[in-house]
Amino acid sequence: MINHVYVIKSDGKIVFHKTYGSVKVDDSLVSVFLSAVSSFAGSLTEGEVKSVVTGRLKFVYTGGPGRYKDYLFVFCADQGDDELGLRERLKRARDSFIEDYGIQALSWDGNDTSVFDGFISSLEKILMGVIKIALVGFGGVGKTTILNLMRGAEIPLDYNPTIAVDVKRLTGISDRYECIIWDFAGQERYTPLWTFLLRGTNIVLMVTDSTVENVVETKKVYLDIIKEKQEERILITYCLANKQDMPRAMKPKLVERLLGIPTYPMVGINPTFRENLTDLISKAIEEWSKSVTIEEE
């Protein structure tokens, strides 16, 4: 999660600072680091975002555009957080700050930072607004078909394997969060990427084709990877027992018993399952949100 948010000038003065989460950092060391980084703010290409990892923390930073080039916008996050999501939110936070407080920042005297306190409201909407959902499973089990079903897109009749990963934005799922779904390639040659791609994930939808062979292999290959990630962060995991319309399909309750994961029936090529799917994702988001709140307390 994001632990600290900073807006600083190239001379090292902190314009805005907000702390989140429970991870503590040495303010004096952070101040030295930010001062060093800020000295390079003016050399950043406009719109460029960079990051640096130190210990278990990651600093993601970008400079401001035009006359704001001497300002640096920084997120201090957990080392394993999804960088794509961090970069996107950082740019949105930068643009929001400049739009709402750009004039005050240019005329700021370097003393009273309370003039920027109102930015907290806009910032929190940006920070709390992204959920990363991962579709995982072997090739051919119907992950991309299910993704198209979620999005209300046309469902392909032919099988075209996903190459590496496909990232899409989901709309109409949650009023509180922006949902980004990652469709992972299931071919064996992409196995080394799975652990990396799961970084920063909040919800995993593990897809099987409901055959005995596939369920057994899914348990053997995927569960260890997911359990490893669950030790690092809160990760809600459901199984979608897809292809329930096929003759050899195992019943969801039996799949659940074998995998030890809440399992739900799915027929990815059937549009009538879309409502069930969106309700399930909403349920997973609510479960994740409650878990995060309990952990922070």
Range of the domain at 26: 2-127
Radius of gyration over alpha carbons of the chain, in Å?
22
HEC letters along 62-89: EECCHHHCCEEEEEEEECCCCHHHHHHH
- The pLDDT > 70 percentage for the chain reads 81
Domain holding 234: CATH number? 3.40.50.300
Same domain, 143 and 123: no
Per the structure, how many domains does the chain have?
A: 2
pLDDT tens readout for residues 11-48: 778 889 888 766 677 666 666 666 666 565 556 677 78
Which pairs from 42-47 meet CB under 8 Å and 24+ separation?
42/10, 42/69, 42/70, 44/69, 47/91
Band of the pLDDT at 214, cuts 50, 70, 90? very high
Same domain, 97 and 149: no
Band of the pLDDT at 270, cuts 50, 70, 90? very high
pLDDT tens readout for residues 145-189: 898 888 876 655 554 444 456 788 787 777 677 788 888 776 666
Same domain, 82 and 159: no
Phi, psi of 206, deg, nearest 5? -90, 125
Q: Which pLDDT does position 154 carry in this prediction?
A: 62
Average pLDDT value for the chain? 82
Q: Between the ranges 50-54, 212-216, 287-291, where is the mean pLDDT highest?
A: 212-216
pLDDT tens readout for residues 52-76: 887 788 888 888 888 888 888 998 8
Cα separation, 68 vs 71, in Å, equals: 6
Domain holding 78: CATH number? 3.30.450.60
- Which of 107, 127, 147 marks a domain boundary? 127
Same domain, 116 and 152: no
Same domain, 109 and 232: no
- Which of 76, 94, 127 marks a domain boundary? 127
Same domain, 158 and 284: yes
CB contact burial 186-215 (16+ within 10 A = b; e otherwise): beeebeeebeebbbbbbbbbbbbbbeeebb
Is residue 4 scored above 70 in pLDDT?
yes
Cα separation, 95 vs 228, in Å, equals: 36
Same domain, 120 and 137: no
Same domain, 143 and 93: no
Same domain, 79 and 205: no
Q: CB-side exposure of 51: number of CA atoms within 13 Å?
A: 20
| Residue 224: its H or E element | helix 212-230
DSSP state of 37: H
